[in-house]
Amino acid sequence: MMRKWLRFGSVFLAALAADLLTKQWALGRLEPGRTIEPLGAILPLTLSFNRGAAFSLGAGDHSRVIFILLSIAACIWLLVYHHQTPRDARVRGVALPFIVAGAAGNLVDRVRWDRGVVDFLGPYDLGFMDWPIFNVADIWITCGAIALTLALWREDRHPRVDSGAEHP
């Protein structure tokens, strides 16, 4: 069980540090609303603040408090889920700390000021729409959720044989 939590902590801390450091960089180097393209259209950078959730979906005047509480609840639930995850479920064991790190990174922004979450990657012109501006935490949440979904789908298609050993 210790190895499972050590892996969780290592992935979590690295992912959270990457998110917080890139946001700090964006705050120090970018101007709000002004897009720069250091690598052309491959990497547009625009500093913005998102008070809502994904795609700027909000909950009115109380968005900050609601999203703080939802983030805390989600992190707690994911930690409990990780604790219940079998130690040999390695994809889940890596996907979950990425999701928690992303949620925690955005939670830090919501707690420290009322401007909202720091976003700076994008917007991306997809030809039919501009993909909204996002951050590294959003990447962790998305990739972690996709990996978790695929792992659960695979586990559902190929159930494990229970050897009677303790799972956590």
Joined together, the tokens standing for residue 19 give 């998110």
Q: Which of 119, 125, 156, 162 is catalytic?
A: 119
61 is catalytic: no
Whole-number pLDDT of residue 131: 87
119 is catalytic: yes
Whole-number pLDDT of residue 108: 98
Q: What is the sign, positive or negative, of the torsion defined by CA atoms of 162, 165, 166, 167?
A: negative
Q: Which of 125, 138, 156, 162 is catalytic?
A: 138
**Burial zone of 18 (CB within 10 Å; 0-12 exposed, 13-18 middle, 19+ buried):** middle
Q: Where exactly are the structural domains of the chain?
A: 2-157
Whole-number pLDDT of residue 163: 47
Tens-digit pLDDT profile for the chain (168 aa)?
Answer: 799 999 999 999 999 999 999 999 999 999 999 999 999 889 999 999 998 766 556 666 678 899 999 999 999 999 999 999 999 999 999 999 999 999 999 999 999 999 999 999 999 988 888 889 999 999 999 999 999 999 999 988 877 665 444 455
Whole-number pLDDT of residue 156: 82
